[in-house]
Amino acid sequence: MRIGELAGRTGTSARQLRYYEAQGLILAQRTENGYRWYEEADVDRVLQIRGLLDAGLPVRIIKQILPCLDKPRTIYFKDATPEMLALLRHHRDRMDERIRCLARNRDAIDEYLGEVGRCAAERSA
């Protein structure tokens, strides 16, 4: 798929996709006329990158952990410093907290919807 389609399917601007490519996060093939061409798997890859960026991870860390998201997995980093590992733990903990918060909010919305549904059913009965 061309860059515009990948941008549309991932909600990412073409400019941002070119940045991801320049940073080595994604790899585009080139067609004979020089257009970038992306594979279907790049949709998931871009969504993973966006999720990690939204979680606050810097690009330099994302670049290092992206291979861990592929299968088969080979997890070994010769340059995994204690500082990088501490940073990853910090971001993982922040993600866990966001997940807990989202789950609480989802449960509250479910409770609200259930109550609204019960009230509507009582009114129509």
Query: What value, to the nearest 5°, has the Cα angle with vertex 74 and ends 81 and 17?
Result: 80
Judge whether 69 and 48 are in contact, CB under 8 Å. yes
pLDDT value of residue 77 = 63
pLDDT value of residue 69 = 74
The dotted CATH code for 1-73 is 1.10.1660.10
Average pLDDT over residues 92-103: 91
Q: Which conformational region is residue 11 in: left (phi greater than 0), alpha (psi within -120 to 50 degrees), or beta? A: left
pLDDT value of residue 76 = 57
Judge whether 33 and 27 are in contact, CB under 8 Å. no
73 vs 114, more confident:
114
| Per-residue pLDDT tens digits for 82-94 | 888 888 899 889 8
Written in H, E and C, the secondary structure of the chain is CCHHHHHHHHCCCHHHHHHHHHCCCCCCEECCCCCEECCCHHHHHHHHHHHHHHCCCCHHHHHHHHHHHCCCCCCCCCCCCHHHHHHHHHHHHHHHHHHHHHHHHHHHHHHHHHHHHHHHHHHHC
Amino acid identity for residue 117 in this structure: G
| Per-residue pLDDT tens digits for 28-66 | 999 999 999 999 999 999 999 998 898 888 898 898 888
pLDDT value of residue 84 = 82
pLDDT value of residue 107 = 96
Q: What percent of the chain has pLDDT above 90?
A: 59
pLDDT value of residue 9 = 96
4 vs 76, more confident:
4
Whether 6 shows a pLDDT value over 90: the answer reads: yes
Average pLDDT over residues 98-110: 94
Residue spans of the domains in the chain: they are 1-73, 81-125
